[in-house]
Amino acid sequence: MLTTVAQAVVNGLLIGGIYALVSIGVTLIFGVVKIVNFAQGEFVMIGMYISFYLATNFGIDPLVSLVISMPVLFVVGVLLQHFLIRRVLGLGDMPQIFLTFALSLLLVNLALLLFTANYRTVQTPYSEAAIQLGTLYIPIAKLIAFAVAMALSGLLWAFLHATDIGKAMRAAAQNRDVAMLMGINPDRVFCVAVGVALALAGAAGSLLMPFYPAYPLVGQVFVLMAFVAVVLGTLGNIIGALIASLMMGVAESLGIQFVGADSGLIVVFAMLLLTLAVRPSGLFGGRNR
Amino acid sequence: MYGLVHRGGFWVGMAAAVAIVLPLLVSSGFAIDIFIRILLFAFIGVAWNLMGGYAKQLSLGHAAYFGLGAYTSTILLIRYGVSPWIGMLAGGVVAMLASLPIGALCFRLRGPYFAIATIATAQVLMLLFLKFRDFAWGAEGTTMPNLGDAPLMMQFEGKTPYYYVALALLAIGLIITHRIERSWMGYYLVAVGEDEDAAEAIGVDATRIKRNIYLISAFLTALAGTFYVQYIYFIDPNTAFSFNVSVEAALVSIVGGIGTLWGPVVGTVMLESTSALLQSWLGGGHGGVQLTVYSLILIAVIVWRPSGLIGILTDAYYRVGRAGAVRAKEVPLDG
């Protein structure tokens, strides 16, 4: 019994690392640009397909293709902010919600047209390997994904606190108008924020590829988790999103273990609705909505 | 102004006349099927628009009420032999009851997080119905019993009667919207939609007004659910609580013109006929084409013309009208 619980917790933490990359992206965009990116999961999907094609056509290991998927998605993010999101800022809820929502629909259905609904997997030497730790069983691919995800989160934290553009981003997140008065160019800061967020989603995609199939709807799983984690962790709070993502991973894993294989999502949604009912401002902050 | 209203009435009369005689002129089952889809989704759009358009509560979970309507009437029909006409109203009541706790929860949030919470409620209901194997047939779903030509049980021979039922539903939805638009409630809704805090400050009970419009919107959406499963003779959780229903309800309203009486109708005609054309052009089996095109249209509308097709049409109408007025003035000068 105890072993089962421990194993479920470990599995949950490992996948929680991936959820963290996605939810940090969502919360970063929300914090800086004040937009909820409904399409964040679809960029994970794009990251997965990039790694899949690099692996099948050029034999590049998915973990190595991280260095390609991240910059590619960074550029996509900058273009997305510059050409689309910028146009709807300040236009009210409807355009802001439905722009990224439409983008999500578009990317899913384009993927369906281009790649079909088939599941694509990449076999790596370490895909099936695992470490036996006492009675615990730790799959290597997931462990690497978790470690890289945590490292990237740490790097982001350092970026936000130690570099000028990072500090400018935090300033713009706190108060856009005052930041502008201090000589910060909001357009540039917003482009970098969306770029970084999408690069994290791309990284999540590449890290998933050794042990998770790519298919057009794959992003929805991750974006739902990310939304719940972002609400739980207080909107715009990066550390909150990280901790909440790990919690979500564990909650989902325990749900699957003890309620039934198809109950993971019910547990997650129940947590979301419960959070909204009890503490709409999230676990880590007093800021409203 | 009088002329505009008068001419508006004329066009509504024309549209109604065309809609009534249309099935007599068209015999192709494929075409009637498309017309029924247009009427049904326009009706769902109208129901969504009451809340999403006027009060700007952008729900992405209206499939919850569509599904509850569908399941209520089906369970009543198959388990208790109750006519779907009664089941339809019962489904509407169930949806209204469900909208109270869902609204109490989701209305705590604004904007995007309201939308996400409504997605979650619809998904939870779908997952629950997938689990209810004994009570509601689980994932396999069930077919409707075939009772032949039984108008009292909402089963007809041929598609034309279904067309008129859908048309009646749409007419009811439009009349209700028209009534609300002209009432105090309509003004309150628009005030809440524009700025909830400001509306509360001048004494509008925003919580109550949102709850009331959610009740009406849920009721109407549930009627559509019953009609749909009676029309396709089949129900399962993925059909009844399909995320696509939630999406299309919002989509047709936004593309047509959010917060306008005719917006959802114009939007549905445009989107569904585009989809039908694509289907006959490309043939079936191209999963994704329809929604790819829909989402491109949606992005274009949002980026260039957030007031939707109705906005474009109104502008064109006024431009033509003004050009006419200018010309009329110029005539005596020239002469």
β-strand pairing of A136-139 with B142-143: unpaired
Question: Does pLDDT of A240 surpass 60?
Answer: yes
Nearest-CB residue to B302 (from A98, A112, A266): A98
Question: Does pLDDT of A193 surpass 80?
Answer: yes
* Number of structural domains found in chain A: 1
In a domain, A10, yes or no: no
In this prediction, residue A288 carries a pLDDT of 40
Span A33-42, pLDDT tens digits = 888 899 999 9
In this prediction, residue B324 carries a pLDDT of 58
| Helices (H), ranges, chain A | 2-33, 40-58, 66-80, 86-88, 93-115, 140-162, 164-174, 176-181, 186-208, 218-232, 238-258, 264-278
Give the pLDDT of chain B (335 residues) as one tens digit per residue: 344 444 567 888 888 888 888 888 887 888 899 999 999 999 999 999 999 999 999 999 999 999 999 999 999 999 898 999 999 999 999 999 999 999 988 888 878 888 888 988 898 898 888 877 777 888 888 888 888 788 888 888 888 899 999 999 999 999 999 999 999 999 999 999 888 889 999 888 989 999 999 999 999 999 999 999 999 989 999 889 998 899 999 999 999 999 899 999 999 999 988 888 887 787 666 667 888 888 999 999 988 888 888 888 888 888 877 665 555 544 444 43
A234-238, A239-243, A266-270, B135-139: which is most confident: A239-243
Give the DSSP letter of residue A120.
B
In this prediction, residue B332 carries a pLDDT of 45
pTM (predicted TM-score)? 0.86
* 3 state SS of B132: coil
In this prediction, residue B334 carries a pLDDT of 40
Alpha-carbon distance of A224 to A265, in angstroms, equals: 9
Give A280's contacts in chain B (Cβ within 8 Å): 108-109
Q: Are the C-beta atoms of residues A207 and A148 closer than 8 Å to each other?
A: yes
Q: Are the C-beta atoms of residues B239 and B144 closer than 8 Å to each other?
A: no
Dihedral angle sign, alpha carbons of residues A25, A27, A28, A32: positive
Torsion region of B313: left, alpha or beta (phi above 0 gives left; psi -120 to 50 gives alpha): alpha
Alpha-carbon distance of B24 to B68, in angstroms, equals: 33
Token pair of B320 as six digits: 């033509």
Give the DSSP letter of residue B145.
P
Window 103-162 of A, Cβ < 8 Å to B: 103, 105-106, 108-113, 116-117
In this prediction, residue A74 carries a pLDDT of 97
Q: Are the C-beta atoms of residues B129 and B136 closer than 8 Å to each other?
A: yes
* 3 state SS of B26: coil
Alpha-carbon distance of A81 to A86, in angstroms, equals: 6
β-strand pairing of B142-143 with B234-235: antiparallel
Interface check for A89 against chain B (CB to CB < 8 A): the answer is no
Nearest-CB residue to B306 (from A95, A102, A216): A95
In a domain, A257, yes or no: no
In this prediction, residue B4 carries a pLDDT of 41
Question: Does pLDDT of A246 surpass 50?
Answer: yes
* Residue ranges with strand state E in chain B: 142-143, 234-235
The arithmetic mean of pLDDT across residues A136-164, rounded, is: 92
| Residue A170, φ and ψ in degrees, nearest 5 | -65, -35
Across A102-116, A120-134, B156-170, B297-311, least confident range? A120-134
Nearest-CB residue to A94 (from B56, B131, B303): B56
In this prediction, residue B138 carries a pLDDT of 82
In this prediction, residue A186 carries a pLDDT of 83
Other residues' Cβ atoms within 10 Å of the Cβ of residue A13: 17
Alpha-carbon distance of A102 to B60, in angstroms, equals: 12
Nearest CA distance, B290 vs chain A (angstrom): 8
Interface check for B120 against chain A (CB to CB < 8 A): the answer is yes
Give the DSSP letter of residue B141.
-
Alpha-carbon distance of A190 to A227, in angstroms, equals: 20
Alpha-carbon distance of A149 to A136, in angstroms, equals: 21
In this prediction, residue B323 carries a pLDDT of 62
Q: Between chains, do A289 and B110 touch, taking CB under 8 Å as contact?
A: yes
Side chain identity at B117, as an amino acid letter? A
A97 CB-near residues (< 8 Å, 6+ apart): A36, A38, B58, B111, B112, B115
- For A46, how many CA atoms within 13 A lie in the half-sphere containing its CB? 27
Q: Are the C-beta atoms of residues B37 and B210 closer than 8 Å to each other?
A: no
In this prediction, residue B91 carries a pLDDT of 96
In this prediction, residue A233 carries a pLDDT of 81
Give A80's contacts in chain B (Cβ within 8 Å): none
Mutate to test the interface with A, among B113, B282, B293 (most CBs of A within 10 A): B113
Pick the residue from chain B with its C-alpha nearest to A83: B303
Question: Does pLDDT of A119 surpass 50?
Answer: yes
Task: List chain B domain ranges.
Answer: 22-242
In a domain, A259, yes or no: no
* 3 state SS of A133: strand
Pick the residue from chain A with its C-alpha nearest to B120: A269
Span A139-149, pLDDT tens digits = 888 999 999 99
Q: Are the C-beta atoms of residues B333 and B318 closer than 8 Å to each other?
A: no
Q: Between chains, do A109 and B295 touch, taking CB under 8 Å as contact?
A: yes
Interface check for A287 against chain B (CB to CB < 8 A): the answer is no
Give A22's pLDDT tier (boundaries 50, 70, 90).
very high
Interface check for B210 against chain A (CB to CB < 8 A): the answer is no
Nearest-CB residue to A265 (from B127, B247, B303): B127
Token pair of B167 as six digits: 């048309």
- For A261, how many CA atoms within 13 A lie in the half-sphere containing its CB? 0
Buried b (16+ CB within 10 A) or exposed e, A252-265: bbbbbbeeeeebbb
Token pair of B275 as six digits: 């989809």
Side chain identity at B5, as an amino acid letter? V
Interface check for B298 against chain A (CB to CB < 8 A): the answer is yes
Interface check for B250 against chain A (CB to CB < 8 A): the answer is yes
Interface check for A93 against chain B (CB to CB < 8 A): the answer is yes
Interface check for A97 against chain B (CB to CB < 8 A): the answer is yes
Question: Does pLDDT of A136 surpass 50?
Answer: yes
Give A289's contacts in chain B (Cβ within 8 Å): 109-110, 113
Token pair of B329 as six digits: 């003035």
In order, the DSSP letters of A214-277 are: B-TTHHHHHHHHHHHHHHHT-TT-HHHHHHHHHHHHHHHHHHHHHT-GGGHHHHHHHHHHHHHH
Residue % of chain A over a pLDDT of 90: 47
Residue holding tokens 């992206």? Answer: A25
Find the domain containing A96 and state its range: 21-218
Torsion region of B148: left, alpha or beta (phi above 0 gives left; psi -120 to 50 gives alpha): left
